């Protein structure tokens, strides 16, 4: 072999190797495979390109789960800003897989209560439509949806102060589970994503009350989920509530997992019920460490990215009525800013996840 030919072949091989390396899965090694984050597809990720950028930034941190919207047709918005087809969801799931992350679908309408939009399904007709959408969607996704957890509702305890409504939720869960089993689907069904955010507020049901009601009424869940929030408090002050759910779950015949599908702290500037960026970093890492040590199976840090245009309805360009201080708080839970630059919290979580 001549030196010229040998050099050409060697150089070609090197270039090919670099090209292949750029195409392989973007997987960051970490032994802490129980941590994930969340992104709203509506406001932050209106295209596959935007979604990919956010996913890759979270994979670089070391996240292994992404909790994303999986909405049913009555509340799906304009095609340009929200995945409306199975092809859209297949593309998102492939992006996650390439980055070494798994999806958790949150199938909810609870955050869309504007006039003309359907709220949480209560009637037999609406519950049947909801259940059919989930089952048909999972079937259409096929192998791409293998291993995807489906969370029924999110913070449903904030929708009512009437404990009788827990039975409505349980009826929905059991209908979805029945249809999933009949269709041969093995995805884990989790819920209710009850939040501690308004515990003590008489206009809502406390998180533990709602979860205990689900258990008492035999909700057919493979996992119980809770959202642990306490404003400017510390994660240690919420551990007792997580411990109680774990104790209840261990006493059940099917031994369901317990997941914290949202926890986090806002770094919104100038608000008394938000924390500093450094305070957010300290609390987010403490939450992951404490909740895992307590027995949580999965911990989702809310959220991946500071919200972009959170207060603007993407279909009309008009401001929502919710553009008030609470909405401002919502915009600053991210591990990155809206331009995807790591905030102190993102750096701290990354360093924790990569520490043996």
Note the pLDDT tens digit of each residue in 94-125: 999 999 999 999 987 644 444 444 457 888 88
Please provide the DSSP assignment of 189-217 as one string.
Answer: EEEEEEESTTTT-TTS--HHHHHHHHHHT
Q: What is the dihedral angle through the alpha carbons of 203, 324, 44, 117, rounded to the nearest 10 degrees?
A: 50
Name the helix (H) or strand (E) containing 275.
Answer: none
Query: Buried b vs exposed e over 185-196: b needs ≥16 C-beta within 10 Å?
Result: bebbbbbbbbbb
CA pair distance 12, 9, nearest whole angstrom: 5
Element (H, E) at 105: strand 102-107
User: Residue 191 pairs with which residues in a beta bridge?
Assistant: 224
Structure tokens at 64: 């292994």
Greater pLDDT, 277 or 46? 277
The pLDDT of residue 102 is 97
Query: Residue 118's pLDDT is what?
Result: 46
Helices 277-294 and 344-353, axial angle in degrees (round to 10): 30
Q: Is the pLDDT of residue 235 over 90?
A: yes
Average pLDDT along the chain = 84
Give the CA angle between residues 338, 335, 59 to the nearest 5°: 100
pLDDT tens for residues 323-350?
555 667 778 999 999 889 999 999 999 9
Neighbours of 124 (CB within 10 A): 10
CB 188 within 8 A of CB 150: yes
Question: Of 68, 67, 65, 66, nearest to 33 (Cα)?
Answer: 65
Token pair 């970490």: residue: 30
Give pLDDT, residue 313: 54
332 or 15: which leads in pLDDT: 332
Predicted TM-score (pTM) of the model is 0.86
| CB distance 65 to 104 below 8 Å | yes
Answer whether residue 2 shows pLDDT above 90: no
Q: Pairing between strand 189-195 and 149-152?
A: parallel
pLDDT in tens, 259-307: 999 999 999 888 888 999 999 999 999 999 999 999 999 999 999 998 7
Here the tokens at position 212 are 């205990």
* Amino acid 292: pLDDT: 98
CA neighbor of 160 nearest in space, from 119, 205, 117: 205
Contact 153, 192 (CB under 8 A): yes
351: Cβ contacts below 8 Å, ≥ 6 apart: none
Please, how many CA atoms are within 13 Å of residue 243, restricted to the half-sphere of its CB?
9
Q: Could you give all domains of the chain from N- to C-terminal order, each with its CATH number? A: 30-353 (3.20.20.80)
Rounded to whole angstroms, how far apart are CA atoms 316 and 287?
38
Q: Per-residue confidence at 84, pLDDT binned at 50, 70, 90?
A: low
Q: Are 67 and 300 in contact (CB under 8 A)?
A: yes
* C-alpha distances out from residue 138 to 46, 82, 107, 180, 254, Å: 22, 18, 12, 9, 23
278-315 burial, b for 16+ CB within 10 Å, e for fewer?
ebbbbbbbbbbebbbebebbbbbbbbbbbbbebbebee
Instruction: Give the CA distances from residue 273 to residues 197, 198, 229, 310, in Å, rounded to whole numbers and listed in that order.
Output: 12, 13, 12, 19
41, 83 Cβ separation under 8 angstroms: yes
Is the CB of residue 37 less than 8 Å from the CB of residue 301?
A: yes
Residue 309: pLDDT band (50, 70, 90) is low
d(CA 22, CA 322): 43
């Amino acid at each position: 072999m001549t030196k010229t030919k040998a050099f050409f072949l060697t150089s070609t091989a090197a270039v090919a190797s670099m090209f292949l390396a750029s195409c392989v899965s973007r997987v960051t090694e970490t032994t802490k495979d129980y941590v994930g984050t969340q992104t709203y597809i509506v406001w932050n990720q209106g295209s596959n390109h935007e979604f990919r950028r956010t996913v890759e930034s979270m994979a670089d941190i070391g996240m292994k789960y992404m909790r994303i919207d999986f909405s049913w047709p009555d509340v799906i918005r304009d095609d340009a800003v929200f995945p409306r087809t199975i092809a859209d969801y297949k593309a998102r799931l492939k992006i996650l897989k390439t980055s070494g992350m798994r999806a958790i679908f949150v199938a909810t309408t609870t955050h869309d209560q504007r006039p003309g939009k359907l709220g949480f399904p209560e009637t037999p007709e609406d519950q049947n439509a909801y259940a059919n959408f989930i089952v048909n969607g999972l079937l259409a996704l096929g192998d791409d949806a293998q291993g995807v957890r489906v969370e029924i509702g999110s913070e449903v305890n904030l929708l009512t102060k009437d404990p009788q409504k827990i039975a409505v939720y349980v009826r929905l869960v059991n209908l979805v589970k029945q249809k999933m089993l009949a269709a041969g689907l093995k995805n884990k069904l989790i819920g209710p994503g009850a939040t501690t955010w308004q515990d003590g507020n008489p206009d809502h049901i406390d998180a533990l009350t709602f979860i205990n009601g689900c258990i008492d009424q035999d909700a057919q869940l493979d996992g119980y989920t809770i959202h642990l929030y306490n404003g400017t408090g510390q994660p240690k002050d919420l551990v007792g509530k997580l411990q109680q759910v774990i104790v209840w779950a261990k006493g059940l015949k099917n031994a369901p997992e317990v997941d914290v599908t949202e926890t986090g702290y806002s770094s919104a500037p100038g608000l008394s019920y938000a924390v500093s960026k450094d305070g957010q970093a300290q609390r987010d890492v403490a939450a992951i460490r404490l909740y895992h040590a307590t027995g949580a199976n999965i911990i989702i840090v809310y959220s991946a990215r500071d919200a972009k245009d959170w207060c603007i309805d993407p279909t009309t360009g008009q401001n929502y009525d919710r553009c008030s201080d609470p909405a401002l708080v919502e915009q600053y839970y991210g591990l990155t800013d809206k331009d995807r630059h790591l905030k102190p919290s993102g750096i701290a979580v990354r360093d924790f996840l990569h520490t043996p």
